[in-house]
């Protein structure tokens, strides 16, 4: 998957990874709009540019297997990546 930096036009490969337990202490409410520590016992994923430790966005999900669905509990981008002058997400499948 790729995203495009709208200020430069540069494309970046991104990855979606599980949030590690020790990372929850770095997810501040002022940067990610929610107290993500509350989601510590849930299935939480982060969006990052490959090779970077900066977290661009977060999603907390709940799997409801008896209904064959996934419920999105919380979804956000970092405040630094919100708005017209930041990253534009261009979901482009690369076959990998």
| Mean of pLDDT over the chain | 85
pTM of the entire predicted model: 0.81
Domain segments of the chain: what residues?
A: 2-90
Residue 93: its pLDDT value, please?
A: 46
Walk across the sheet containing 43-49 and list its strands.
69-77, 55-64, 43-49, 11-18, 2-5, 87-90
Tally of CB atoms within 10 A around 31 = 14
Residue 72: its pLDDT value, please?
A: 95
């Amino acid at each position: 998957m790729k995203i495009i930096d709208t200020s430069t036009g540069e494309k970046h490969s991104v990855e979606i990874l599980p949030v590690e337990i020790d990372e929850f202490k770095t997810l501040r409410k002022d940067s990610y709009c929610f107290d993500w520590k509350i989601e510590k016992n849930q299935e939480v994923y982060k969006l990052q540019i490959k090779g970077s430790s900066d977290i661009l966005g977060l999603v907390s999900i709940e799997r409801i297997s008896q209904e064959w669905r996934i419920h999105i509990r919380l979804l956000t981008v970092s405040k630094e990546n919100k708005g017209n002058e930041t990253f534009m997400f261009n979901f482009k499948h690369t076959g990998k």
